[in-house]
């Protein structure tokens, strides 16, 4: 009987391991994304923007094909000045392009055309798995190439990404020929392995040392990449592109110190803004005046060709009393 009990225990443990691994893999790569309407409703509920205002703007829905054959969807909001400045706005995990609307006017006030995109597997874009920048960085490159082919090779293109979008625009910097004027990464992850260890162990109480290697093997088999292949801190370290890092001090999904690590590692032009009291993806909602001012100053400095580094303590001195606002966050939120 003892051997039968042992067999049952082992069998149950194996089934549990398989179940947990599949659950973690699903949460990381295939968690159900919000529809456009759900995203609009969530943002209006917390007061981030009014849908009527967005609907009143001239806009054009555009589609391109990714390097691996997926249809990717975006929406271009042209600036009435006919400027050659563009910014690509990149949303977070389980969201879609409407989630980027609150950031739009920060750039439009300085004459930027804004291109809101659906990352692969989100919104109206095709795709089966989220890969945290492994494939998505090539999609960013494809969008930049589309802008230049459509509006002229002299087009100036900047990138802004939040959470998954922040990690993705930083991963874009690993490509051999980057063509972005600047990158703004809001609450990005510095390294995917360490982020998933944190989210499994600290947020979901799953023994990461046991299950993360199993998840990693499943990622390779199913989605074609490994955790070690995604490391924004490695991608951004030596890039000549100016980068601004933004993070809330109360972010428990992607720890604040990840942006601090990125800022410390990045060589060349850089800035760091820490927003006191902001949770994940919530820096704009908590302190919109500070966020707007810091981003516009950074972009203007880039356009003028001079971007002095701002130390973290200097950024913190600008922070005012926070007002809580933001989108609801799912587990394994990116």
pLDDT per residue over 54-84, tens digit each? 889 999 999 999 999 999 999 999 999 999 9
For the segment 125-141, the average pLDDT, to the nearest whole number, is 98
pLDDT at 310: 52
* Section 282-286 average pLDDT: 93
pLDDT at 325: 39
Q: Given this model, what pLDDT does residue 73 score? A: 98
Cα separation of 187 and 259, whole Å? Answer: 7
The 3-class SS string of 53-102 reads HHHHCCCEEEEEECCCCCEEEEEEECCCCCCCEEEEEECCCCCCHHHHHH
Please measure the distance between the N-terminal and C-terminal CA atoms of the chain and give it in whole angstroms: 48
- Answer yes or no: is pLDDT of 217 > 90: yes
Does 313 score more than 80 pLDDT?
no
147 or 14, greater pLDDT? 147
Residue 93 tokens, joined: 């995990």
User: Is a pLDDT exceeding 90 seen at residue 20?
Assistant: no
What is the predicted pLDDT for the residue at 331? 36
Q: Is the pLDDT of residue 328 over 90?
A: no
User: In whole angstroms, how far apart are CA 15 and each of 12, 207, 213, 218, 270?
Assistant: 5, 16, 16, 15, 48
- What's the Cα-to-Cα distance from 250 to each of 52, 180, 271, 277, 324, rounded to whole Å? 32, 30, 19, 6, 11
Per-residue confidence (pLDDT) for residue 298, from 0 to 100:
96
Q: Is 90 exceeded by the pLDDT of residue 122?
A: yes
Which residues, 6 or more positions from 39, have their beta carbon under 8 angstroms from its beta carbon? 95, 96, 98, 99
Helix 136-151 with 164-171: angle, nearest 10 deg: 70
- Crossing angle (nearest 10°) for helices 2-29 and 208-218: 60
How many Å apart are CA 12 and CA 320, to the nearest integer?
Answer: 53
Distance CA 285, CA 279 (A): 10
CA 189 to chain centre: 8
User: What is the predicted pLDDT for the residue at 55?
Assistant: 87
* pLDDT band for position 210 (cuts 50, 70, 90): confident
């Amino acid at each position: 009987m003892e051997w039968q009990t042992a067999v049952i225990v082992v069998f149950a443990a194996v089934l549990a391991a398989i179940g947990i691994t599949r659950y973690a893999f699903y949460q990381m790569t295939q968690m159900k994304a919000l529809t456009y309407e759900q995203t609009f409703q969530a943002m209006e509920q917390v007061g981030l923007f009014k849908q009527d205002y967005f609907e009143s703007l001239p806009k054009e829905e555009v589609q391109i094909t990714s390097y691996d054959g997926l249809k990717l969807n975006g929406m271009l909001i042209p600036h009435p000045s006919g400027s050659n400045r563009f910014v690509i706005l990149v949303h977070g995990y389980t969201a879609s392009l409407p989630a980027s609307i609150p950031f739009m006017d920060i750039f439009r006030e300085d004459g930027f055309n804004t291109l809101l995109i659906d990352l692969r597997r989100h919104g109206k874009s095709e795709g089966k798995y989220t890969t945290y920048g492994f494939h998505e960085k090539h999609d960013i490159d494809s969008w930049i190439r589309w802008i230049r082919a459509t509006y002229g090779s002299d087009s100036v293109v900047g990138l802004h990404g939040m959470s998954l979008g922040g990690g993705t625009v930083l991963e874009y910097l690993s490509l051999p020929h980057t063509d972005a004027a600047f990158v703004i990464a809001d609450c990005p992850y510095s390294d995917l392995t360490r982020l998933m260890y944190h989210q499994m162990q600290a947020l979901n109480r799953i023994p990461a040392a046991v299950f993360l290697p199993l998840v990693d093997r499943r990622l390779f088999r199913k989605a074609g990449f490994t955790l070690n292949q995604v490391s924004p801190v490695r991608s951004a370290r030596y890039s000549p592109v100016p980068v601004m890092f933004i993070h809330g001090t109360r972010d428990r999904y992607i720890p604040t110190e990840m942006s601090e690590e990125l800022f410390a590692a990045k060589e060349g032009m850089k800035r760091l803004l820490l927003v006191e009291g902001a949770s994940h993806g919530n820096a704009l909602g908590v302190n919109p005046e500070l966020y707007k001012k810091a981003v516009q100053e950074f972009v203007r400095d880039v356009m003028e060709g001079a971007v002095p580094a701002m130390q973290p303590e200097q950024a913190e001195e600008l922070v005012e009393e926070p007002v809580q606002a933001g989108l609801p966050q799912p587990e394994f939120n990116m």
